[in-house]
Amino acid sequence: MPERKGINKKLIYIVLVIILVALSYFGVDNFDKFFNEEYPFESTQSETTEMINVHYIDVGQGDCTLVVCGGKTLLIDAGENGHEQQIINYLNSLNIKKLDYVIATHQHSDHIGGIPEVFENFGVDNIIMPRLTEAQTPTNTTYTAFLKAIQNSDAKVIASKVGAKYTLGGAEFEILGPVTNDAEDINSMSVVVKVTYGENSFLFTGDAETDEENEVLETGADLDCDVFHAGHHGSYTSSSKNFLNAVTPEICIISCGADNDYGHPHDAALKRIKKHTEKIYRTDICGSIVITGDGSVLSVTYENL
């Protein structure tokens, strides 16, 4: 009998030890699994919503750029008359229903031609544009259609103001120009805007020429950026030496049409840009170009790979 009691005690002890070891083993294992599975999952999810995507949409000879961050959208310009369907198709392919902001950099047809159709097909919350003097205000049918589309919409109309900042998901954009309103050519009334997301930055200057570039430079604004959308489709009248020295681009995008009447991009501008970077992507060659940033690293993809 005493022997059996001893065996029972030993057995109970062994079973208890096995149970404790098993519990602690599975417990620790489950605990580890919880973090190993959940942490990367959460991290990936937040990266997906917080990425910035900048789409330089190919609209032939004109400008149209879509910035998307955290589900918020900014459209900078809407191309020339006749290219509106390309923009509508592009935005539809991204399942975009509404634009939080539209910037009309200036009131030339290769930048505002598609605005009426954009307003007809998508909700627009805000439109930012330069406030022109009477002498600068165009009188053509493109401008009339542009004004009518805005007046018939619920969009808030905002006159560009240097220093004004807006949030776009986790990104921010700041208006850097035009500084004055005395330009004879409304190219140099173009809204200059810098979009920043973490360490990623993108600069847009519309068709600003050297005089406006100099005015922006004189404000002392931080122009340094990763991606520079070359002013005025790569014209020699923009992307001046001093301006580029402040911008120091790592990547340059040029929006222009194949065999365009203006000869854009001009060799003189390309030569100045190449002093800073060889990474030049053109919509006439690449088609639409997409730059994705995670706040640190940038990647470039384009249509005609």
Q: Which of 110, 117, 213, 226 binds Zn ion (CB under 5 A)?
A: 110
Sequence-ordered list of residues with C-beta below 8 angstroms from that of 94, at least 6 positions apart, any chain: 55, 66, 68
Q: How far is the CB of 213 from Zn ion (least distance, A)?
A: 15
Residues 226-255 contacting Zn ion, CB under 5 A: none
Give bridge partners of residue 200 from the DSSP assignment.
Answer: 197
Closer to Zn ion at the Cβ: 117 or 207? 207
Closer to Zn ion at the Cβ: 57 or 69? 57
Q: Examine residue 77 and tell whether it contacts Zn ion (CB under 5 A).
A: no
Give the interface segment with Zn ion, choosing from 41-49, 143-151, 202-210, 270-278 (CB under 5 A): 202-210
Total chain residues near Zn ion (CB under 5 A) = 2
Residue 169's region, left for phi above 0, alpha for psi from -120 to 50, else beta, is left
Radius of gyration of the chain (CA): 28
Q: Examine residue 207 and tell whether it contacts Zn ion (CB under 5 A).
A: yes
Closer to Zn ion at the Cβ: 61 or 196? 61
Give bridge partners of residue 194 from the DSSP assignment.
Answer: 174, 203
Q: How far is the CB of 97 from Zn ion (least distance, A)?
A: 28
DSSP single-letter state for residue 123: E
Q: Would you give the binding string for Zn ion spanning residues 158-197, x where CB under 5 A is met?
A: ----------------------------------------
Would you state the structure tokens that stand for residue 129, as one six-digit string? 């544009």
Give the interface segment with Zn ion, choosing from 170-178, 200-208, 209-217, 242-250 (CB under 5 A): 200-208
Sequence-ordered list of residues with C-beta below 8 angstroms from that of 59, at least 6 positions apart, any chain: 78, 79, 80, 83, 86, 87, 114, 255, 283
Closer to Zn ion at the Cβ: 207 or 209? 207
Long-range CB contacts (< 8 A, 24+ apart) of 149-154?
149/115, 149/116, 149/119, 149/120, 150/115, 150/119, 152/119, 153/119, 153/124, 154/123
Q: Which residues bind Zn ion (CB under 5 A)?
A: 110, 207
